[in-house]
A and B are shown apart, each in its own frame.
Chain A
Amino acid sequence: MEDKKIYSNKICIATNSSCNLNCIYCYEKNKNNLEFDVDEAFNVIDKQLKTKTQFGTKIKLHGGEPFMVFPKIKQLCERLWANQYIEYYHFHLTTNGTLVHGPIQEWLYKNRDKITVKLSLDGDKKSSDINRPLSFEKIDITFFVKTWPNIRVNMTITPATLPYLFENIIFLHSVNINNIISHFAMMIDWKECKLERILREQMFKLADYYLNDPSIMPCHFFRPDIGNTLCKPLYNAACVRGQGEAYDYQTKKYYPCFMCFPALAGKKVSEELCSIDFTDTDKLEERCCLECPFINICPTCYAENYITRGKISHRDMGLCSYHKVIIAVLFKYEYARLMKVDNPDAEDVLKMKAIQKWGNEIESILSELDIVRN
C-alpha cells in the first residue's frame, strides 16, 4: 500500500482541464474540453521508465477532474502495467471524489496497490458547500478511507471557511481521515481579510486537541520540523523546482511543473517561467524572507509567485502573518509536547534548541495580534 514515499523522479502528465465542479478558489481559469492522447502519454512515460532510479518514479496524472476522462486513464494505466519495466513506478492523482462510484470504485479498489488517490475535501458539509457547492453529498468518503487507509486529503482553506478550521479538521478525523494536508487557497488577498486572530484561536484549539490525544496524526500545519530553523536558509527545497517534468498534451511540450502550463499561466508567462533557472538559489527569495528565521519551514510556490506577482521571489506577503501565526502555534505545541517526553530523540533535542533560539520571536508574534487590535 502506497503511503508518502520518497521518489527519485517525478513526471506529471496533464490529462484534461475539464471539471464537473466550480470551486471558488480554482486556479484553472481556462478550462476546455480537450483531453490527453493515450498513445502520446504512454510514449512519454514509457521513455522515462526505461531508466532505473534509486527510489522510483512518481507519475502524477493531473486534471481538471481526472475522472472526467476515466476510460483513457484506465487504458493508459493498464497498458503500462502490462509491460515489464526495470523502474519502480506508482500513479498518483487528485480527485474531488464526486465521480468515484460504481465501475470507477471497482477499478480503483482492484488496483489500489498501483495507484494512489488524493482526495480534495475542504471539511464538513457546511464548508464544502461554501467552497464547492453541491459536492459534499456526492463523495463516498467511506470508500476512500477503506481503499487507502492513510489517504491524503487536500483541505483548502478560504477566508469564508477559516473560522471553521477546527471543526473541519475534527470532522475529517471523525471519518477516519488522518492525513490532512491543510493549505491556504492561493491567489486571494489574505491581507485584506484580517483573519489572523481567528486563525490563532483555531490553531490553539487544534493544538490542545492534538496534545490531548497524541495517537492522532496532526494536520499538515503541525508537521514541519522546527529543527530546520536551526539550519542555513533554504536548507531544504521548498518545492520540486524543475526537478520533475510536466507534460502538457495541449502544447505537446515539457514544463518545469504543471503550474507553468500555458493554459494556467498564460502563453507569455509560461515561456518566461521555462527560461528561469530554478536552481539559482540567489534568485529564489527576497532579502526579507531570507532573513526570516522561519524560511525553512514556510511554504511557497515559486511559479505562483511569478504568475501573480511577476517574480519567483515575490512570495504572497499577504499570507506572511498567517504563516507566522501557524508557525508560532506549532512552536508552542512542540514545547508543550516535548516537556512531557521522557526519552527524546535527536530530532526532539534539535526542536527544543530551536524553541530556545526563537522563543522570544514566537511570543511576540502571538501577543502582537492583541496589541494591533487595541
Chain B
Amino acid sequence: MTEKMRGIWKSAAALILAALLLCGCGQKSDGVDTGHYVPADSTTGLSNGTVAENTRFALSWDAAFSQVIVTDKATGAQYSTMPRSATGPIYDDEGQEVFLSSHIQSPLIVYYYDATTLTERTLLSYDEAILAGGCYAEPIQNGLKVTYDFISRSISVPVEYKLYDDRFELSVDPKKITDDGTNYVTGFSLAPFLCGVENDAQDSYFFLPDGSGTLLEPAELDVVGYTGELPVYGADAATAVYLDTSYTKQTALPVFGVKRSDSALFGVITSGAEQASVCWDIGSETKLYSTVYPRFALRTADLLKRPAHFSSAQPRIQVYSETISPEPIAVSYYLLTGDDADYSGMATAYRNYLLETGALEKRETADITADIKLLGGVQQQTITLGIPHTVLAPVTTAKDAAEIAAWFSDAGMGEFMLRLAGFGQSGLDLGAVGGGFKFAGGLGSKKEFRTLAQQCKDSGILLFADYDIVQFSKNGGGYKLSRDGALQMDGQTLYLYGFDFYARSRTSEHYSLLSRTKLSKAAEKAARAAADYGFSGVGFSSLSQLIYSDSAEEGSEAAAGMAALVASVFGETGKTVSTFSENANAYAACASDYVTGVPLTSSDYRFTSVDIPFYQMVFHGYRVLSGAPLNLSADPQRTLLSCIETGTVPAWTLSALPEDKVLLTDYSALSSSRWTQLRDGVVEAVKLVSPVLERVSGSVITRHEIRPDGLRITVYENGVRVAVNPTDAPLTLDGQTVAAGGYLIAEG
C-alpha cells in the first residue's frame, strides 16, 4: 500500500470514527438517569415514638407497621399513612377477621417498567419493601426520612415527611430514586391512604378538583370498588391516544382533600403538579377504606403501535423516556378543624397558600359586566372552476365587530370584554403559530382593526385578541412546522392528529405543538402585534390549559416545568399589555389579569354527589372570572344561575354569520352564535346579573353551602350573601323566598 493510499485510508477511518462518535455521543442528557441502584442504608433504624414536633403537630413513627403518623396537638386528630383504625384486627358482620389489603398498609406504591413484559407494573411498599425488610427510617430536621427499598426489583425510593407551622409535607427528590436500569421507575403514588376513611363512614366526603370542583362520598360498593384519576392540569398533550368518546373537564387545580367528620385533610401538590394525577379509590370490599391520593409520573410516556414481527401480544406498546425529571415532588397537607373542616376551608387554605407563595395577588382590573367572544372565520373547502381549494370564510369582520361593540355599548352594557378569536390567517382552524400574528385580510384591514380598537377604548370596552401560540399546522409567523415543533422522545418532531369524534378515530390532518423553548418569543410577538393594533390586551387560550413534554427542553419529562414556564410567559406579557387566560390551570389563572371560561360544573363522574364552585371560591376577589358561554349551554338558565351563585361574569360566543349562510364545520359554536338573534337576550341577562356583580366585585368568597333542600348559598367577605335556587320549587332563606330558578341577595 502506498503512502498516499494509507493517508486516504487514515482520513476515511478518522471521518468514520468522528461520525460514529457524533452519532453515539450526540444524545442529550436531559434529565436524571436513575439506572444505578443503591441499596438503602440498612443500619438506620428507628423505634416507636415522636420524631419531630412543633406547636401545631407531632410527627411519630410506628415501627410495628412502618407507618408515619401526624397528630394535631390541639384536637388530637390523627392522620397516618395507614388508617389508624386499621392497625387492630377488623371483623366483618359475621365476626370473621377481615384480611386487610396490602394497599392500605402501603405508604408508597411504585410503578415500574418491566422490560420483560414491556408493561408498567405495580409494587406495593408493604409487600415488597416493609415485609421484605427494606424499609428504613431516619430522623431529619423537622421530620423523618423513610427509604423504601424494593430489594427484589432493585428499586429504592426515599420519602421525606416534614412538619411546618401550618402543614406537613411529603416529598420525594427524584434525583435520589435509584433502580437497576432494567426495571426502571416510571412513577409512584404517595401515601395512598393518608386521606382514607372507612367505606361506611358518615359525614365524610372527598374533594376532587374536577372542573369547578366536586365531592365524592365514601361508599360500600363491591370487591373491586370504584377507581379513577384526574390528570392535574390535563394529560400531557404530547401523548394523545385518540380514544375518547366522552368529554371531561379540566383539572385546573393541584389539590384534593377529605372531610372526616369533624376534621379535614387538604392536600396541595406544591411541586411536580404537572406530573401528578389525583386518584380516587372508593368502595372496595377488600380494602374497606375509601381514599383520594396523588400519583406522579416521572417519565414521558407514549403508546406506540407494535412494530411488525415484534414479539408481544399487545397491539400498542408503552414506552418511556430514558431519564426522569429532576423536579422535586412535594405535597403539603393542611389539617383543617372546626368550621374550616369542609371544602370552604379547603378553598381558603389553597387561596392562602397561593397568596403566601406570591403566586396570587390582587390586580387593578376593570369590573366587567359581560364577556363576549367573537368568532372570526373558518376554513372552508370551496370549488372554483371545479377545482377544490380552502378559503377563509369570514364569519365576523372588523366592521361587524365594531357594529356589535357599538350596539352593546349603546344598549347600556357598561364596561365589557370583547375577545376576538379566530381572526388570524387560518381563522378558528389551526394554521401558523398565533395565526401568523396578523389578522386575516379577509376579515378587515389593519386600519379597520385599529378603528375598532379606538372605538372600544372610547366606549370603555376591553378589546382582546386570542392567540394560539401552542398548536400549529402550517409554517408562518416566523415558525416552521418541521423546525419549531416540540420533539418526541426519539428526537423527531412531534405530530399530533385531529380526532374524529363520530368514528372514534384520529383524522389525517396533523399539527404540532410549539417547542416549549420558543413559547416566550411567540408570546412576545403576539403582545407586540396586539399593541400595534391598539388592543387592550391578549389572551392565550391554548397556553393556559395545555401542558406537554418536549424533548427539546431539558427536564421536561412528563410535562414537568410547564407551570413555571407558562406563568413566566404570562408574567412577561402582562408587563406590556393586559392578559386573559381561558379555562385556565391554576398557574395561568394566577399569572393573568382576567380568567375566562371558568368551569361551572364538573365532569360528573359516577358516585360524585354534588358540584361545588371551588375554582371560583379560590380566585373570586383576586381575578375577574367569566363563565362558559350561555348561548352554547344545554340549559342557559341554569348556567346563568351558576354565574350568579359565584359572582362569575356571564359569557357569550357570538358571530356575525349571515342568515343566508350555513357553515357545516366541526366548529359547532358557529351555528348557535348569530349575534342578531341573541343580542336582546344578552342585554337582558346582563341586567339580571349586574346587581350581583356590583355587590360582590373584588370580594373574596369566604363560605359556600349547599342546603339539603338544594338552596346554594355563597358568602362573601364583605358580608353579602347570595342564595340561588336551582330547584323547581320556591325555597326560603331567613324568611325570604327564593323563587324556583331565582336568586336572592342578603346582607350579613
Query: Are A and B physically bound partners?
Result: no
